[in-house]
Structure 1
């Protein structure tokens, strides 16, 4: 039997729910519950195109020209989005993650990122997935294994499924963000504005329709526990929600207008919890500084509606 492009497939089951987590990239390939797709994933014989389900570290989103500096040292990491001249979504999307722990309904994977040009730091990453009748819980921990402070940011890239025969146009989106990050034609930040009075004010929930979104949002409304939640609801009232703890102060939302092949466009909504905004390694905004031996943890999840 040939090896799938994403390596070992870790199948989690809990009641009528099933999720598949993959070795390559440490991400979420599929998630079904109650006989329906919760996420718009990909087949075992495919790579994770369009960043589907990937872990985004040690930075999420885009880094201008792949160039930045840390404590006075200029650094350059390879440009991985040549059409926009950016280094996008970190360094661990196409690497193998080692299995640390496994049960019927959970898995923990680890990747040790060694020093390299553009990111000369030793960073240990662990990501754990736990499936239950209530949903899927994802916990990511980063630890500085080196002898100097390092910068860190992290995100995840699930696509919520619009549903069979549907597009995101047919769904209602609730996005509890008061501020949208403004970007240039390279999707790099140039400022921000309140969403109030704009088509991007989705705090009360409204049909997506023909709205095109590939934007970062912040100033998220949270409950008493510090949790923010994005909801995508289908016409029949089913759907899914992505929730995130206070570690994730930013969200990238993407309506999938340029994914390939064109037949897949707008079939899923990317809802990306992020600890920092685009180009954070240049701006310094919300970048986590980890001292040697220090760790940071963030938790988010998906629940069916």
Structure 2
């Protein structure tokens, strides 16, 4: 059912609750369970104030498309067309590298709604910033054990379009939070979080064995991801398993020191993939080219772990 006061769509399955904010970038506003009257947040919840202000950075999660992460200085060329993201688009620390695509900045339409399933849709016309017309959808399916989300991006233009998809969940960083995931290498970033080198770093080894997130301070892309991650909150004896299907073959970890949240993101390309593609292979930067009418889709899940 829809709560018009806060512009939320609410789904339920067993003890699990999902709240969506279609008008705020088609974002997830909250994902939590209620057991014995107590609420436990799986994702960092958006407040009513954040929703009313449409504070994109305060949502629980949102879709990344038609590119993931950053484009260097908002400029790239592809197929004789120029990508030129104007100043004012949300950007990184330097303010020069626009973030997270276009979808999270637009209101989405509720195309289907059921107690445990909702489909959101988006249509975007070509313009001087992103010169391809596209459509997108997010399918949210809830069951008592977890959430499955499928993101789809379709090229509705007359020319091939570069494409990337993913999701950007914000998890609570509670005391003692641990993360375990297996990857092959990490893109080192410069002071503006732009990729400068790919290495099997110490962080790769630590994450493979599981690490307390309080020991890390990262905003990095990882390659060779094995499509699974485990989050443990020892103080609550609770844990989550996140999994993803191809083409969500890359993993981003945003874990700022001292913050009350972190982001573990399943994505189909690394930062600035469109500008790096002429120097690196698809296994290193990812990304897809969609022919007119072609669709790129990928699913990721969150489930309670034992």
Q: Name the residue aligned to 1:74.
A: 82
Distance 2:261 2:243 in 1: 17
1:50-100 Cα offsets, whole Å, 9 max, x none, are 564111111111111101001133331124227421111111212110111
Question: Which structure 1 segments of 5+ residues have no match?
Answer: 222-227, 258-264
Of 63, 75, 79, which residue of structure 2 is paired with 1:55? 63
Deviation at 1:243, TM superposition (A): 1.1
In 1, distance between residues paired with 2:72 and 2:256?
22
8 A contact 2:161–2:291 mirrored in 1: yes
Instruction: Return 97-106 or 32-41, whichever deviates more.
Output: 32-41
> Normalising by the residue count of structure 1, what TM-score does the alignment of the two structures yield?
0.87
Which residue matches 1:25?
25
State the distance in 1 between where 2:181 and 2:97 align.
27
Q: What is the CA–CA distance in structure 2 between the aligned matches of 1:106 and 1:18, rounded to whole Å? A: 11
Would the alpha carbon gap of residues 199 and 142 (structure 1) be closer, same or farther in structure 2, given more than 3 Å must change?
closer
Question: What do residues 96-136 of structure 1 show as CA deviations (whole Å, max 9, x unaligned)?
Answer: 10111110011000000110112111111010101111200
Runs (5+) with no aligned partner, structure 2: 278-284
Distance 1:282 1:126 in 2: 26
Q: Counterpart of 1:203?
A: 208
TM-score (norm 2): 0.86
CA distance in structure 2 between the aligned counterparts of 1:99 and 1:50, rounded to whole angstroms: 21
Q: What are the superposed Cα offsets for residues 189-234 of structure 1, whole Å, 9 maximum, x if unpaired?
A: 1111013x4576311213233321211111113xxxxxx2111101
SS at match of 1:87: coil
Range that drifts further, 179-188 or 71-80? 71-80
Aligned 8 A contact 1:58 1:154 in 2: yes
In the alignment, what sits opposite 1:42?
Answer: 46
